[in-house]
Amino acid sequence: MQFENSLAFAQKLDTEDVLNDYKSQFHFPQINGKDVIYFTGNSLGLQPKITKSYVDEVITDWKNLAVEGHFRSDKPWWDYHERLAKPLASVVGAKKEEVSVMNTLSVNLHLLLVSFYRPTKKRFKILCEEKAFPSDQYILKSQVKFHGFDIEDAIVEVRKREGEHFWRTEDILSKINEVGEEIALVLIGGVNYYNGQVFDMKAITKAGKTQGAFVGWDLAHAVGNVELKLHEWDVDFASWCSYKYMNSGPGNASGIFVNKKYLHESDIPRFEGWWGTKKETRFLMKPEFEPIENADAWQISNPSVLSLAPYLASLQLFEEVGMNALIEKRDKIVSYLEFVLNEIDGEVNGSFEIITPNERGCQLSVFLHGHGRPLFDFLMESGVITDWREPNVIRLAPAPFYCSFEDMYRFGQILLKGIKSGIA
């Protein structure tokens, strides 16, 4: 399609967009009396309007039923989390039994590493990307120290090539093969939080497993954003948060994936708790742990129903729309944003560059040349909510549920005004 950087063309794209009406199903903050242009669904998604009714239902049941809400409410609390498994499995490309919801992302990664980081004297190294999200770095370092290994020896980072802003898949595969039989675990963020790069999860998973390693993925920036086929790719485990593209609310519940092949291993290393035991015998208070034969076996405590309610509300929208439709619009709207940015860059003599490679999802990261925080502040004051990362990168993530093509055009005009006004 031949794009045009004009309001009329952007509005035409919106009239052709089958998802355009979904924008009205979300609440938008306002600046200067107008809905913002929202680019930070990669940090915190907007609130769906149906969310309140789901939360109110739990609050009302608590009020009217008290403890009996566990069994007598329309959506009984004791198995509330099970309602999320089927729609989540569709989003991440898994079998229903391979998915569960519990805790938060970093907690879940630690718990999953109990099962999937089993270092030996010979096989103890962990491979990750250079400058992984800080929480992942802390998790890996603390796990290595816990097992008595030296961080410098045990953690292998794959670096970007000199002068490049992205990782090359061949470099990752080469490093996996180089480490060889010493590698115990590959754990990478499926989509890099800084530059928006989507890693070749299929190829990396295959390479890691060929070397005999467990392979897991932090899908915080991937779930609800890119196509995932965790079961088909033979991924061992994964976890993700739900408050970014999944729109479930700040700090909300995390999802996990555990490959079906491990669900019947009763002796797998695992921190265990009451909610992971078989439902049939849970209330018999038996001293022996009898794991549920699905990913719920990794649950320790009963999940917070007040956290699950917004997640379930959001998943209703994902079921209605489907990932294929979201990805189709994502590709089109991100391409249009890229076009608008390139048009503007041609007018202002290389004031910025897009550092996100072609392997991407919703996010474009823009590296500013000769501009800094004041330009970001100008965008925010002008009604554009975006994200600043040091030293001078602005992250733009037009989520397809609630961003429009007109938003992309209007953002471009605001950005152009800020640059031309000399804001540095």
Query: Rounded to the nearest 10 degrees, how much is the dihedral formed by the CA atoms of 235, 237, 238, 239?
Result: 170
Residue 42 lies in a domain: yes
Contacts of residue 210, defined as CB under 8 A and 6 or more positions apart, other chains included, come to none
Rounded-to-integer distance, Cα 125 and Cα 214, Å? 11
Which among 397, 400, 381, 399 is positioned nearest to 415, based on CA atoms?
381
pLDDT recorded at residue 421: 87
pLDDT recorded at residue 406: 98
Which among 424, 366, 421, 355 is positioned nearest to 396, based on CA atoms?
366
Residue 370 lies in a domain: yes
350 and 306 in a common domain: no
The overall average pLDDT reported for the chain is 96
pLDDT recorded at residue 424: 61
Q: What is the DSSP letter of 40?
A: B
pLDDT recorded at residue 1: 84
Contact 269, 143 (CB under 8 A): no
304 and 195 in a common domain: yes
Average pLDDT over residues 165-189: 98
Residue 107 lies in a domain: yes
Q: What is the pLDDT of residues 264-320, one digit of tens each?
A: 998 899 999 999 999 998 889 999 999 999 999 999 999 999 999 999 999 999 999
273 and 126 in a common domain: yes
Q: What is the pLDDT of residues 208-242, one digit of tens each?
A: 999 999 999 999 999 999 999 999 999 999 999 99
The structure tokens 């925010």 sit at 380
Residue 67 lies in a domain: no
* Residue 369 predicted with pLDDT over 90: no
113 and 254 in a common domain: yes
Q: Which of 299, 321, 343 is a domain's end point?
A: 321
312 and 335 in a common domain: no
Contacts of residue 126, defined as CB under 8 A and 6 or more positions apart, other chains included, come to 117, 140, 143, 144, 154, 155, 156, 183, 184, 185, 186, 187
**Max Cα–Cα distance, the chain, nearest Å:** 72
Residue 74 lies in a domain: no
For residue 109, give its domain range: 80-321
Residue 69 lies in a domain: no
Q: Which of 264, 291, 321 is a domain's end point?
A: 321
Rounded-to-integer distance, Cα 365 and Cα 166, Å? 11
Contact 108, 187 (CB under 8 A): no
Lowest mean pLDDT: which of 70-74, 322-326, 368-372? 368-372
Percent of the chain residues topping a pLDDT of 70 = 100
Q: How far is CA 237 from CA 26, 233, 336, in A?
A: 32, 11, 35
328 and 313 in a common domain: no
DSSP 230-247: TTTTT--EEEE-SSSTT-
152 and 124 in a common domain: yes
396 and 309 in a common domain: no
Task: Identify the CATH number of the domain in which residue 308 sits.
Answer: 3.40.640.10
216 and 137 in a common domain: yes
Q: What is the pLDDT of residues 143-152, one digit of tens each?
A: 999 999 999 9
Q: Which of 321, 337, 357 is a domain's end point?
A: 321
Q: What is the pLDDT of residues 38-54, one digit of tens each?
A: 999 999 999 999 999 99
327 and 312 in a common domain: no
245 and 96 in a common domain: yes
Q: What is the pLDDT of residues 194-211, one digit of tens each?
A: 999 999 999 999 999 999
Number of domains in the chain: 2
40 and 88 in a common domain: no
The structure tokens listed for 207 are 């390479």
Task: Identify the CATH number of the domain in which residue 332 sits.
Answer: 3.90.1150.10
pTM over cut 0.85:
yes
CB-facing half-sphere around the CA of 126: CA atoms within 13 A: 30
